[in-house]
Amino acid sequence: MRVLIQRVNNAKCEVNNKIIGEIKGGLLVFVGFSETDTLIEIKKMAKKIVNLRIFNDNDGKMNKSLQDIGGKILSISQFTLYANTLKGNRPSFIDAMEPKKANEMYDLFNKELEKYNILVETGLFGEEMNISLTNCGPVTISLEF
């Protein structure tokens, strides 16, 4: 399981010029799954994301978590996190989980995040999406289990 998180002031997801997910303050989370991922990785990743201390405290130090600030999540499924570019110029995605199973894992992941009383907005699995954001910091962190 691979996740790329960005601390954002705001973020939104549009499909066919319609906003389907939008947050103000929190994390934009891009998530991809491999064939070996299970509910164990989902639970560990969700816990890590909501407790990761990457928001500023009163002294300007990254010392607060998403839960501490009452932040939100915009979760976007992104199989391209498993792009393999070692050979040639066209990425291979053979390490990414097959779509039907990945969609189920994506739903489980978002439900797991919600268990922490976090508002989770989502993109639309398997669709062409336009993502807009204002990165805060910028802070971008890659996680993998």
Catalytic residue among 80, 85, 134, 140: 80
Helices (H), the chain: 39-51, 66-69, 99-114
Helices (H), 80-131: 99-114
**pLDDT tens track, the chain, 145 positions:** 999 999 999 999 999 999 999 999 999 999 999 999 999 999 999 999 999 999 999 999 999 999 999 999 999 999 999 999 999 999 999 999 999 999 999 999 999 999 999 999 999 998 999 999 999 999 999 999 9
Q: Confirm whether 80 is a catalytic residue.
A: yes
**pTM for this predicted structure:** 0.95
Architecture of domain 2-144: 3-Layer(bba) Sandwich (3.50)
123: left (phi over 0), alpha (psi -120 to 50) or beta: beta
Match 């989980």 to its residue by tokens: 97
Rg (CA), the chain: 15
